[in-house]
Amino acid sequence: MSPRIDHVVIAADSLEQGAAWCAATFGVRPAGGGKHPLMGTHNQVMDISSENFPGCYLEVIAIDPDAPPPGRVRWFGLDRPELREAIRDSPRLVHAVARTHKIETLCQELARLALHPGELLTAQRETPYGLLKWRITVRDDGRLECAGALPSLIEWQGEHPCAHLPPTLLSLRNLVLRGIPLQAADMLRLPSVDNDPTDGTIPPDAVQQSPLTATLASPRGRVVLDGWHIGG
């Protein structure tokens, strides 16, 4: 089974800021979430599943001000000063995560292409429905490959978050990932990988500048989010 897009990541200065931004941008607020003790972060999530992106959710994530320092670099570039500065103004799309049932194999294949999504870490968070557990690739230096376009890999151990998320009127319609080497794109076989989008749905300036662009259908209409460029 090929990897599938599992979720898209919105970095926020705080969860309160992120929830307000979702309401203003989409007309929908996140409905669930929790704390990540391993990383000193917390999140809010909502289902954005669609026919092309089944079992997919949007994650608003922020550094948890009540958590002790994690003793390591946080995921998704949250410790990078330039991103911290950017999200003080507004939350930003920073990354996508792909789920797989063969995470070790994919990591090895990416390494042969000189791409290193990171070490495999085991993480978990509490929910009203029980403990969510997963393995995910995270680099020790906090860097994201391909400026954030190459998805991190995740393997769920048990239930998926979407199993208990209420349906929403928000859905992911398209996700373009740019700058991933062709061999890696072919190996991952993600239907959203597009190194030369030509369908006219993405603004030309985004094609030139953004490592990823997400298009969502929402109660406020079509929303196009360009990803924050996370440098090396």
pLDDT > 60? residue 13:
yes
Does residue 91 fall inside a structural domain?
A: yes
Whole-number mean pLDDT of the chain? 89
Position 231 in a domain: no
Is residue 232 a part of any domain in this protein? Answer: no
pLDDT at position 1 is 54
pLDDT computed for residue 231 by the predictor: 53
Structure tokens at 176: 């373009």
Distance, in Å, from the CA atom of 229 to the CA atom of 213, rounded to the nearest integer, reads: 11
Domain presence at residue 178? yes
- Give the contacts of 13 (CB within 8 A, at least 6 positions apart): 62, 84, 87, 88, 91
Q: Is residue 61 part of a domain?
A: yes
Q: What do you get for the CA distance between the two ends of the chain, in Å?
A: 31
Provide the pLDDT for residue 130.
Answer: 87
pTM for this prediction: 0.91
What mean pLDDT comes out for the span 190-200?
A: 53
197 domain-assigned: yes
pLDDT, position 143: 87
- The CATH number given to whatever domain includes residue 106 is 3.10.180.10
pLDDT for 201: 41
Higher confidence at residue 49 or residue 3? 49
Q: Could you give the 3-state DSSP secondary structure of residue 47?
A: strand
CA trace torsion 76, 82, 38, 20 (10° rounding): -80
Higher-confidence residue of 177 and 191: namely 177
Q: Which residue has the higher pLDDT, 127 or 173?
A: 173
pLDDT at 142: 84
pLDDT value at residue 205: 45
Q: What is the pLDDT of residues 98-147, one digit of tens each?
A: 999 999 999 999 999 999 999 999 999 988 888 999 999 999 988 899 99
Rounded to whole angstroms, how far apart are CA atoms 153 and 55?
Answer: 15
Q: How many helices (H) and strands (E) does the chain have?
A: 5, 11
Residue 194: pLDDT band (50, 70, 90) is low
Mean of pLDDT values over 26-40: 92
Range of the domain at 122: 4-226
Residue 21 within a domain: yes
Cα dihedral sign, 62-65-66-69: positive
> In the numeric block, which tokens belong to residue 7?
């979720």
Residue 222 lies in a domain: yes
Number of domains in the chain: 1
Q: Could you tell me if 192 and 149 are in contact, meaning their C-beta atoms sit under 8 angstroms apart?
A: no
